[in-house]
Chain A
Amino acid sequence: MERSGGWLDIVEEGARLQVSANGRWTIGHGRFLEEEICRLRDFKGRQVIINLGQVNQLDSTGAMLLHQAGHMLKGHGCEIGFHGISDRYVPLMAQVGDAGSPGRHLDVHSKHTGLGDLVSNVGRRSIEALREGRDLLNFLGLVTIVFWRAVRQPRRFRPKALITQIEQTGLDAMLIVGLLQFLIGVVLAYLMADQFRKFGAEVFTVNLIGLTILQEAGVLITAILLAGRSGSAFTAQIGTMRVNEEIDALQTLGMDPIEVLVLPRVLAMMITLPLLTFFADLCGLLGGALATVTALDISFPQYLRQLQEAVHVRDFLIGMVKAPVHAMIIALVGCYEGLKVERSAESVGRMTTLSVVESIVLVILATAVFAILMSVLGIR
Chain B
Amino acid sequence: MDGVIEISGLENRFGAHQVHKGVDLIVRRGEIMGLVGGSGAGKSVLLRSVIGLQKPSAGHIRLLDHDIEAADPAAVEAVRSRIGVLFQDGALFSSLTVAENIQVPLRENLSLPEGLLDRIAAMKIAMVGLAPEAGAKLPAQLSGGMRKRAGLARALAMDPEILFLDEPTAGLDPIGAAAFDQLILDLRASLGLTVFMVTHDLDSLAAICDRIAVLVDGKVRVSTLADHMKDDHPWIQAYFHGPRARAVSASGAGHMTGAR
- Given A61-B159, A104-B132, A107-B136, verify A344-B94 contact (CB < 8 Å): yes
Task: State the CA gap A53–B127 with chains docked (Å).
Answer: 25
From A68, A110, A346, B119 is in contact (CB under 8 Å) with: A68
From A27, A31, A68, A109, B97 is in contact (CB under 8 Å) with: A109
Give A1-55 interface residues, CB cut-off 8 Å to B.
26-28, 30-31, 34
From A30, A34, A59, A344, B140 is in contact (CB under 8 Å) with: A344
Question: Is chain A's interface secondary structure helix, strand, loop, or mixed overall?
Answer: helix
Contacts of A344 in B (CB 8 A): 94, 140
Determine if A106 and B135 form an interchain contact, defined as CB atoms under 8 angstroms apart: yes
- Given A30-B116, A100-B122, A342-B140, verify A107-B127 contact (CB < 8 Å): no
From B135, B159, B192, A27 is in contact (CB under 8 Å) with: B159
Q: Would you list the 8 A-B pairs with minimal beta carbon distance, nearest first?
A: A99-B126, A107-B136, A108-B99, A59-B159, A106-B135, A91-B190, A106-B122, A95-B190
Q: How far is the CB of B130 from chain A (nearest CB, A)?
A: 10
Give B186-212 interface residues, CB cut-off 8 Å to A.
186-187, 189-192
Contacts of B127 in A (CB 8 A): 60, 95-96, 99
- Given A59-B159, A107-B135, verify A346-B99 contact (CB < 8 Å): no
Q: How large is the interface on A (under 10, 10 to 19, 20 to 34, 35 or more residues)?
A: 20 to 34
Tell whether B118 is near chain A: CB-to-CB under 8 Å.
yes
Task: State the CA gap A345–B46 with chains docked (Å).
Answer: 27
A-B pairs with beta carbons under 8 Å apart, 13 shown: A34-B116, A59-B159, A59-B191, A60-B159, A61-B116, A64-B120, A96-B190, A99-B127, A104-B126, A104-B132, A108-B121, A344-B94, A344-B140
Q: How far is the CB of A349 from chain B (nearest CB, A)?
A: 10
Determine if A31 and B116 form an interchain contact, defined as CB atoms under 8 angstroms apart: yes
Contacts of A61 in B (CB 8 A): 116, 120, 123, 159
Contacts of B116 in A (CB 8 A): 30-31, 34, 61
- Given A28-B110, A31-B113, A109-B136, verify A100-B99 contact (CB < 8 Å): no
Determine if A92 and B97 form an interchain contact, defined as CB atoms under 8 angstroms apart: no
Determine if B192 and A95 form an interchain contact, defined as CB atoms under 8 angstroms apart: no
Instruction: Name A residues whose Cβ lies closer than 8 Å to a Cβ of B.
Output: 26-28, 30-31, 34, 59-61, 64, 68, 88, 91-92, 94-96, 98-100, 104-110, 342, 344-347
Q: How far is the CB of B122 from chain A (nearest CB, A)?
A: 4
Contacts of A59 in B (CB 8 A): 159, 191
Q: How large is the interface on B (under 10, 10 to 19, 20 to 34, 35 or more residues)?
A: 35 or more
Q: How far is the CB of A38 from chain B (nearest CB, A)?
A: 11
Contacts of A100 in B (CB 8 A): 119, 122-123, 126
**A104: nearest residue on chain B (CB-CB)?**
B132
Task: State the CA gap A94–B17 with chains docked (Å).
Answer: 50
Tell whether B166 is near chain A: CB-to-CB under 8 Å.
no
Determine if B112 and A30 form an interchain contact, defined as CB atoms under 8 angstroms apart: yes
Task: State the CA gap A127–B119 with chains docked (Å).
Answer: 39
Determine if B123 and A99 form an interchain contact, defined as CB atoms under 8 angstroms apart: yes
Contacts of A31 in B (CB 8 A): 111-113, 116
Q: How far is the CB of A205 from chain B (nearest CB, A)?
A: 51
